[in-house]
Amino acid sequence: MTSDKPIVVENPWERLRAFTDARIGLGRAGVSLPTGKLLEFQLAHAQAQDAVHCPLDVEALAQQLQEAFAFEHEPLRLHSQVEDRAMYLQRPDFGRRLNDDSRERLQKAAASQSRVNLAVVVVDGLSALAVQQNSQPFLKALYQQFEQDSAEWQLAPLTIVEQGRVAIGDEIGALLNADAVVVMIGERPGLSSPDSLGLYMTWAPEPGLKDDRRNCISNVRPGGLQMGEAARRLFLLLKEARQKKLSGVKLKDRSEDNVLDGDAAATGSPRNFLVAD
Amino acid sequence: MAQTYHSTVGSRHYHFKNLAELMAKATPPRSGDRLAGVIAESAEERVVAQMVLAELPLATFLNEVLIPYEDDEITRLIIDDHNIEAFAPIKHLTVGDFRNWLLSDHATPEVLQSVRAGITPEMAAAVSKLMRNQDLILVGKKCRVVTAFRNTIGLPGRLSTRLQPNHPTDDVTGIAASILDGLLYGSGDAVIGINPATDNVAQSVKLMRLMDEVIQKYQIPTQSCVLTHVTNTLEAIEQGAPVDLVFQSIGGTEATNRSFGFDLSILAEAEAAAQSLNRGTVGRNVMYFETGQGSALSADAHQGLDQQTCEARAYAVARKFNPLLVNTVVGFIGPEYLFDGKEITRAGLEDHFCGKLLGVPMGCDVCYTNHAEADQNDMDNLLTLLGVAGCNFVMGIPGSDDIMLNYQTTSFHDALYARRVLGLKAAPEFERWLTEMQIFQDVKTHRLNDQLPAAFANSLRHLPREPRHDV
Counting residues of chain A whose pLDDT is more than 90, the rounded percentage is 74
3-state secondary structure at position A180 = strand
Give the nearest partner residue to A41 out of B335, B400, B456, using CB atoms.
B400
B122: Cβ–Cβ under 8 A, 6 or more apart, which residues? B23, B61, B66, B78, B309, B312, B313
CATH number belonging to domain A55-250: 3.40.50.11240
Amino acid identity for residue A276 in this structure: A
Q: In what order do the strands lie in the sheet with B323-329?
A: B224-226, B191-194, B160-163, B393-396, B362-365, B323-329, B287-291, B246-249
Radius of gyration of chain B (CA): 22
pTM of this structure: 0.88
Span A20-49, average pLDDT: 95
Q: Is A188 on the interface with B (CB under 8 A)?
A: yes
Contact assignment for A90 to B35 by CB distance below 8 Å: yes
pLDDT at position A264 is: 43
**Cα angle for residues A90, A93, A97 (degrees, 5° grid):** 130
pLDDT at position A169 is: 98
Torsion of Cα atoms, A247 then A252 then A254 then A255, to 10°: 50
Q: For residues B356 and B116, is the Cβ–Cβ distance under 8 A?
A: no
Q: For residues B286 and B271, is the Cβ–Cβ distance under 8 A?
A: yes
Query: Does pLDDT of A259 surpass 50?
Result: no
Span A239-260, average pLDDT: 76
Query: Does pLDDT of A71 surpass 80?
Result: yes
CA distance A123 to A131: 7
Amino acid identity for residue A255 in this structure: S
pLDDT at position A254 is: 62
Nearest CA in chain B to A225: B169
CA distance A216 to A234: 9
pLDDT at position B449 is: 95
Contact assignment for A188 to B456 by CB distance below 8 Å: no
CA within 13 Å, CB half, B36: 32
CA distance A64 to A132: 9
Start-end of H helices in A34-183:
35-52, 58-69, 85-90, 92-95, 100-111, 128-148, 168-175
Residues of B in contact with A264 (CB under 8 A): 172
Burial of residue A245 (number of CB atoms within 10 Å: 0-12, 13-18, 19+)? exposed
Give the nearest partner residue to B466 out of A21, A44, A267, using CB atoms.
A267
pLDDT at position B2 is: 65
CA distance A265 to B11: 76
pLDDT at position A258 is: 43
Give the nearest partner residue to B210 out of A48, A266, A272, using CB atoms.
A272
What is the least distance, in Å, from the CA of B364 to any CA of chain A? 20
| ipTM of this predicted structure | 0.94
Mean pLDDT by 10 residues, chain B (471 residues): 82 94 98 96 97 97 97 98 98 98 98 98 98 98 98 98 94 96 98 90 95 98 97 97 98 96 97 98 98 94 97 98 98 94 98 98 97 96 98 98 93 98 98 97 93 91 66 38
DSSP character for A7? S
Query: Does pLDDT of A195 surpass 80?
Result: yes
Query: Does pLDDT of A260 surpass 60?
Result: no
Q: For residues A77 and A131, is the Cβ–Cβ distance under 8 A?
A: no
CA distance B342 to B381: 10
In chain A, domain spans: 12-52, 55-250
Contact assignment for A223 to B168 by CB distance below 8 Å: yes
Q: For residues B393 and B162, is the Cβ–Cβ distance under 8 A?
A: yes
Query: Does pLDDT of A266 surpass 80?
Result: no
CA distance A226 to A105: 34
- B37, B161, B163, B119: which is closest to B313 by C-alpha? B119
Torsion of Cα atoms, A175 then A180 then A184 then A190, to 10°: 120
Give the nearest partner residue to A189 out of B35, B201, B406, using CB atoms.
B406
Query: Does pLDDT of A107 surpass 90?
Result: yes
Query: Does pLDDT of A263 surpass 60?
Result: no
CA distance B12 to B52: 14
pLDDT at position A190 is: 85
pLDDT at position B468 is: 52
DSSP character for A250? G
